[in-house]
Structure 1
């Protein structure tokens, strides 16, 4: 398989792993691991970093599997702390960042239990990114299923 095809296959698996965040942890992790194997073969340092420091902790946090999970990404550190119930620490981490993306608004809304901010995040996912899929995260939280 050519380099370009492998790269596309890795990205495909990475995206597919995220598509399972509302359904099944095992399927999500299976595809993320497939993406990681391919990224390692390609020695794609950027993709490996995205997988290890963002996507892996994100998926684990969405499913509540945060024991032993760490990351260098501050947003995902905050996400992990929210799931652990350490909202104060999560807010401290997020307060060091500019809350200007729908995902960061989602995390801050979770950490503060602010339904208005969660709905703003939902609206930003849809209005600014046309992303109805990830808009389900803050919507679900605002409806009472925090984290």
Structure 2
């Protein structure tokens, strides 16, 4: 829209001869930047994405924060929640059916969940089971 639609309105706005509101001037300026400096914006997005990926790999605290925040997103959060539960269930079922002890199976399932929030919860369950606590809900 910034590249195709706003420039067409820009000529209409200029024909008015009046000073445009600040927000309209901002959108027109943003359109000019998008048309003339798109390559720098694209490069900046790629660089920021790369740096964010490296930061996620090196900082467990950042990854936990992002995983927690992503689970709170309206549609994507529910999809990721269901996906993590499915991976956990499938991994736990497969390893337990293969004769792997429950404590070891929970360890594998924690790694397969794909989300630090669920992984931490599963590891807490594993620690509880290994100390003799039951799996019942509280």
Q: Same fold (TM over 0.5)?
A: no
**Structure having the larger proportion of residues in helix:** 2
Task: Give the structure-1-normalised TM-score.
Answer: 0.29
Task: Give the structure-2-normalised TM-score.
Answer: 0.31
